[in-house]
Amino acid sequence: MTHSFFFLGIPGGWEWIVIILVVVLLFGGRKIPELMKGLGQGMKEFRKARNEEPTKDDIDEKK
């Protein structure tokens, strides 16, 4: 049974542990909350922009 990186699919239990360990080692424990806060703000802004309907002024500005 051969495993390829591209065919693994969703990570299981051990894979998540390894991913979390690598993230902690790379960024350190103090930076992780800051990274998650930035990620959350980015997702919030993306949802807000996606849900906003363009106004006539926005459409005219693009022309």
Per-domain residue ranges for the chain? Answer: 20-51
Mean pLDDT on 12-18: 85
Model confidence at 63: pLDDT above 90: no
54 dihedral zone (left: phi>0; alpha: psi -120 to 50; beta): beta
Residue 41 and residue 20: Cα distance in Å, rounded?
A: 21
Report residue 50 as tokens: 């996606």
pLDDT at residue number 44: 92
